[in-house]
C-alpha cells in the first residue's frame, strides 16, 4: 500500500509563515534559506560546462590575419579539469557542445626581441559557419631596450550560441616585428577559456 501526504504548504510550529509552499503544478517555493546536508541531484541551472585549451608550442606573430590553427590541446596537467561536455576543436575552430550563453576568454603571453612593437589578440565568431566577425580586440605595445621583453594580454566576450552547427569561434593573433606567442604543454601560457553561463 502506498502512503501519500497531500499538502500545499509546510510550516514550523513556532513560525508565523510557511517554510515550503507548493502549487497545483508541483512547483515548490522556499521563502527562506534551504540547506542540503546530502547530495542534491536533478536540479537545472548553474554552470554546467567549463573548458580550457592552450597553445602547446611557441608561435611567431605577424599578419593581423593569422589564426591559431594547430598545436592546441585541452588542458590536462595534474590538478586541471573540465566540467561537463567540453568544446570540440578542429584546425583552430571551436564548436560549442550545446546552445546557451558562453563567456569566452583569450589570454596570451608573448616575448619580443625587437625595439618598439605591438602585439594583440582577437576573438572572432561566425553565426553561419562561414563568415567570421571580430567581437573583441586587445593589443598592447612592447618596448625592448636591450635584449628581450615579455608581455601579456587578455580579451573576452559573451557569445549567444543559438545553433551549435553554425555558431563557432576562432582566435586571431598578430604582432609587428619579432613577436612570439608563448606555448606550453604543461602549463597555461597562451590559452582559451569557455564557460557556459546559462540558457540562451
The values of phi and psi at residue 184, to 5°, are -165, 145
Q: Which residue has the cell 559573451?
A: 158
Give a yes or no: residue 147 inside a domain: yes
**Cα 98 off chain centre by:** 13
Name the domain count of the chain: 1
- Per-residue cell: 32: 527562506
For residue 119, give Cα distances in angstroms to 42, 112, 126, 188.
46, 9, 24, 18
Per-residue pLDDT of the chain (200 residues; tens, 9 = 90+): 677 777 787 888 877 888 788 887 777 887 777 777 766 666 666 799 999 999 999 998 766 668 999 999 999 999 999 999 999 999 999 999 999 999 999 999 988 777 656 788 999 999 999 999 999 988 777 766 666 778 888 999 999 999 999 999 999 988 777 788 899 999 999 999 999 999 98
Give a yes or no: residue 90 inside a domain: yes
- Per-residue cell: 10: 509546510
**Spatial separation of the C-alpha atoms in residues 15 and 32, rounded to whole Å:** 12
SS3 84: coil
The CATH number assigned to the domain holding 161 equals 2.60.120.40
Give a yes or no: residue 64 inside a domain: yes
Give a yes or no: residue 5 inside a domain: no
Q: Within 10 Å of residue 103's Cβ, how many Cβ atoms? A: 15
Full domain range(s) for residue 105: 49-198
Amino acid at each position: 500500500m502506498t502512503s501519500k501526504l497531500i499538502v500545499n504548504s509546510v510550516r514550523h510550529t513556532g513560525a508565523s509563515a510557511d517554510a515550503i509552499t507548493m502549487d497545483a503544478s508541483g512547483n515548490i517555493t522556499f521563502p527562506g534559506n534551504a540547506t542540503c546536508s546530502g547530495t542534491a541531484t536533478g536540479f537545472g541551472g548553474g554552470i554546467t560546462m567549463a573548458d580550457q585549451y592552450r597553445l602547446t608550442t611557441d608561435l611567431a606573430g605577424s599578419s593581423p590575419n593569422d589564426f591559431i590553427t594547430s598545436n592546441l590541446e585541452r588542458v590536462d596537467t595534474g590538478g586541471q579539469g573540465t566540467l561537463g561536455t567540453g568544446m570540440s576543436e578542429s584546425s583552430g575552430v571551436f564548436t560549442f557542445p550545446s546552445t546557451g550563453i558562453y563567456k569566452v576568454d583569450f589570454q596570451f603571453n608573448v616575448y619580443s626581441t625587437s625595439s618598439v612593437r605591438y602585439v594583440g589578440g582577437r576573438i572572432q565568431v561566425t553565426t553561419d559557419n562561414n563568415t567570421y566577425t571580430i567581437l573583441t580586440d586587445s593589443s598592447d605595445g612592447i618596448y625592448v631596450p636591450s635584449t628581450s621583453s615579455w608581455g601579456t594580454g587578455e580579451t573576452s566576450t559573451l557569445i549567444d550560441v543559438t545553433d551549435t552547427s553554425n555558431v563557432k569561434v576562432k582566435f586571431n593573433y598578430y604582432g609587428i616585428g619579432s613577436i612570439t606567442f608563448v606555448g606550453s604543454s604543461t602549463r597555461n601560457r597562451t590559452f582559451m577559456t569557455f564557460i557556459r553561463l546559462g540558457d540562451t
